[in-house]
Chain A
Amino acid sequence: MAARWTADSDESDEGWSLSEEPASSSLSPLSSDDEWLDNMESGKMAPPKNAPRDALVMAQILKDMGITEYEPRVINQMLEFAFRYVTTILDDAKIYSSHAKKPNVDADDVRLAIQCRADQSFTSPPPRDFLLDIARQKNQTPLPLIKPYAGPRLPPDRYCLTAPNYRLKSLIKKGPNQGRLVPRLSVGAVSSKPTTPTIATPQTVSVPNKVATPMSVTSQRFTVQIPPSQSTPVKPVPATTAVQNVLINPSMIGPKNILITTNMVSSQNTANEANPLKRKHEEDDDNDIM
């Protein structure tokens, strides 16, 4: 359900403290609880008199801000929020003051902490005229046509969460005569599968035809070294068009030793599940109108 967020950073210095005081218990706690329960239905409640002092203070704050009807759990929620907010600010202030090499945390640190946090979390949505403006811009472009038979319609890979974000280490120990393995497959060339890759002597001439540019933390890109002995140039396009249904595909993945490089030739032997199903990132991703 929707709830309004109000950012009220002044709330914390309303003259209330978190110090613990023994709660005064009334002589007949049972009756006050009953009456409290009776008030449950109406939504208006004052917490019972033997509630902790913080709860009473919070109830008073709510009353001062003009909120008269609320469920009883709202007080707990507000107390938790206040606690979390104050501890976050104080933690930040400690960090700032230790950064400035001060012996104690003082008011300036706290002020800076409050200001930084306010810019970060207590932002309000953009103003209406700004929204109307960007809406007008966005709404002018016509709706894009839908290509038929395009399989699962997802954004380009870099905007999806479908990339593997891990890399497997190989357990196979090769002999010393084989320092490095050169990959035979290009990432997308499904058509080259039938030709069993042979292990040739590693060549340092690399023809990286797909260079990973901005490497995001979560997804991996593969550059492939095509040894010169392979005559057929890598043609990614016809292969990838067959790779639309990610789930049902004559699987390309076998236990192959494929060297995964990131812009350099590495001497590790890593076996990896190459994902030839991955669509090229430069194929059609930036066709959207930004």
Chain B
Amino acid sequence: MKGNETMLDFRTSKFVLRISRDSYQLLRRHLQEKQNNQIWNIVQEHLYIDIFDGMPRSKQQIDAMVGSLAGEAKREANKSKVFFGLLKEPEIEVPLDDEDEEGENEEGKPKKKKPKKDSIGSKSKKQDPNAPPQNRIPLPELKDSDKLDKIMNMKETTKRVRLGPDCLPSICFYTFLNAYQGLTAVDVTDDSSLIAGGFADSTVRVWSVTPKKLRSVKQASDLSLIDKESDDVLERIMDEKTASELKILYGHSGPVYGASFSPDRNYLLSSSEDGTVRLWSLQTFTCLVGYKGHNYPVWDTQFSPYGYYFVSGGHDRVARLWATDHYQPLRIFAGHLADVNCTRFHPNSNYVATGSADRTVRLWDVLNGNCVRIFTGHKGPIHSLTFSPNGRFLATGATDGRVLLWDIGHGLMVGELKGHTDTVCSLRFSRDGEILASGSMDNTVRLWDAIKAFEDLETDDFTTATGHINLPENSQELLLGTYMTKSTPVVHLHFTRRNLVLAAGAYSPQ
């Protein structure tokens, strides 16, 4: 027992208990008047009593917040300022339409405005006080290919379906057959053209979702023969003879538990039980780098929304922030008491959320590695996390089957979605944040009304002083639909740019 880390953590750190002043005084009086100070000594030694003034909480409120292995979060843990706003999009000249994206004359062109900006309104056109400064963390510059991607993105956005309770998305399910319970990770590119699957046999397989096949670059000897001045040189460098719909990437020596495409679709990351995170090139379909740092299984990895950075979390209870051109991590996010199961970047790339087996979700600042938020309330290890597209909210899913919604700015739980009967292993907001889709091991996909769930919070009169949360029991009204699969747990969810849902899972017959 001596070497067991969890035991050591329990012995050395204190369990945090939040209690109102009146209740605390009652407790103290009761324990001290008994003339038996044993219990009082234990309380003083092993519990950290975080006292707040005000009304004591009801049982329901307390039940919502408890569950973590270390007690609740101290009040000051959630008080620092978090820049949850989005970064300003850079100005891009769209060749066909004559508009700039960035904000001098935005107000006068309502009909060309993208639907997603409507909900935020004009706040984001001026400097959003909640958005981080543009250069808070260094971000890679926009290349020409990135600008082309953005233009494509904008064009797709204009064709996007506006979702709501009366307009539900269609769900296209990709079932992995013959995986024999070996499918351990899935990722889809942002433009929904590629699917990658990580398997228990240590392979990573990449499929093309569109009819366009996967091509790798020709061998060097062939490259010397092509005409470099021709216009279609980028097509000529691709090898037609080995084009296929599936490419298999070999290299890991253990099951692959995490996969993530880069936003520019040049790279794929995979994290494995062998403790490494591998970077694969999607132009040559070979492995470029192995990042060694975790010496224990790495459960999840994700690229930053702007590329270049990526985060990984594993069994060693830390999450690490890496850059593709550094062989050692840039930041280490230490603080969890148990394995880090899930790691996600905030849309503005300045924060990283980690969900852990100690049943807490922590939000870390990329700039200095500090933990800026601790969210407790789940009653089981957390397996899925997702940020809302506007950056203000976080949804988390755990083995207790509940999806919890958190307000990042205030640091409070704002919603609880009950309905799933088994672990919620995938979560995704729609592109404009109107619908939250959740996939679970109980073989269903459920759609929840996110606008309604967050609607009373849009107004700013919010009781943050006491930090008491009042969760409405409205899971039933928020549930827009339950879609069953045939014994296929839903491992991954993805909204295409036009708001079609792609879901993935492996058929596991019982």
Which residues of A are in contact with B by a Cβ distance under 8 Å? 1-2, 4-5, 40-41, 73, 123-129, 131-132, 134-136, 138-139, 141, 143-146, 148-150, 152-156, 159-162, 247-251, 253-254, 273, 288, 290
Contact = CB atoms under 8 A, between A and B. Distances in A.
Contacts of A126: 316
A41 B487 CA distance: 12
Contacts of A288: 326-328
Given A125-B5, A153-B325, A247-B217, A2 B333 contact: no
Given A125-B316, A159-B289, A247-B237, A135 B332 contact: yes
Contacts of A135: 318, 331-335, 369
Contacts of A128: 5, 8-9, 12-13, 317, 334, 337
Nearest to A134: B332
Contact of B289 (A2, A132, A161, A248): A161
Nearest to B223: A251
28 contacts: A2-B299, A2-B341, A4-B357, A125-B5, A125-B295, A125-B315, A125-B317, A126-B316, A128-B8, A129-B12, A131-B317, A131-B332, A134-B332, A134-B334, A135-B333, A135-B334, A135-B335, A135-B369, A143-B138, A145-B138, A155-B325, A155-B327, A159-B289, A247-B283, A247-B284, A250-B224, A251-B220, A253-B224
B195 interface: no
A162 B5 CA distance: 38
B198 to A, nearest CB: 12
Nearest to A248: B237
Given A125-B5, A128-B8, A253-B220, A2 B330 contact: no
Interface residue SS majority, chain A: loop
Nearest to B279: A154
Nearest to A285: B327
A153 B323 CA distance: 9
B324 interface: yes
A126 B317 CA distance: 9
A251 B141 contact: no
Q: Which 5 A-B pairs have the closest CB atoms?
A: A139-B369, A251-B224, A135-B334, A159-B327, A125-B316
Nearest to A126: B316
Chain B, interface residues (CB within 8 Å), range: 35 or more
Nearest to A275: B220
A123 B315 CA distance: 12
A164 B8 CA distance: 46
Interface string B90-132: 0000000000000000000000000000000000000000000
Interface string B272-306: 00000001010110111110000110010000000
A15 B28 CA distance: 50
B367 interface: yes
Interface in B406-444: 425
Contact of B332 (A139, A154, A161): A139
A139 B368 contact: yes
Contacts of B484: none
B221 A132 contact: no
Given A135-B333, A161-B251, A161-B289, 10 more contacts: A1-B383, A1-B425, A2-B299, A41-B510, A128-B337, A131-B317, A135-B334, A144-B330, A148-B141, A159-B289
Contacts of A144: 138, 323, 326, 330
A260 B323 CA distance: 34
B228 interface: yes
A146 B289 contact: no
B308 interface: yes
B155 to A, nearest CB: 27
Contacts of A136: 369
Interface in B367-401: 367-370, 381, 383
B339 interface: yes
B403 interface: no
B233 to A, nearest CB: 8
Contact of A132 (B266, B323, B334): B334
Contact of A146 (B9, B138, B257, B316): B138
A146 B140 contact: yes
Contacts of B366: 143
B137 interface: yes
A153 B290 CA distance: 14
Nearest to B366: A143
B220 A161 contact: no
B287 A161 contact: yes
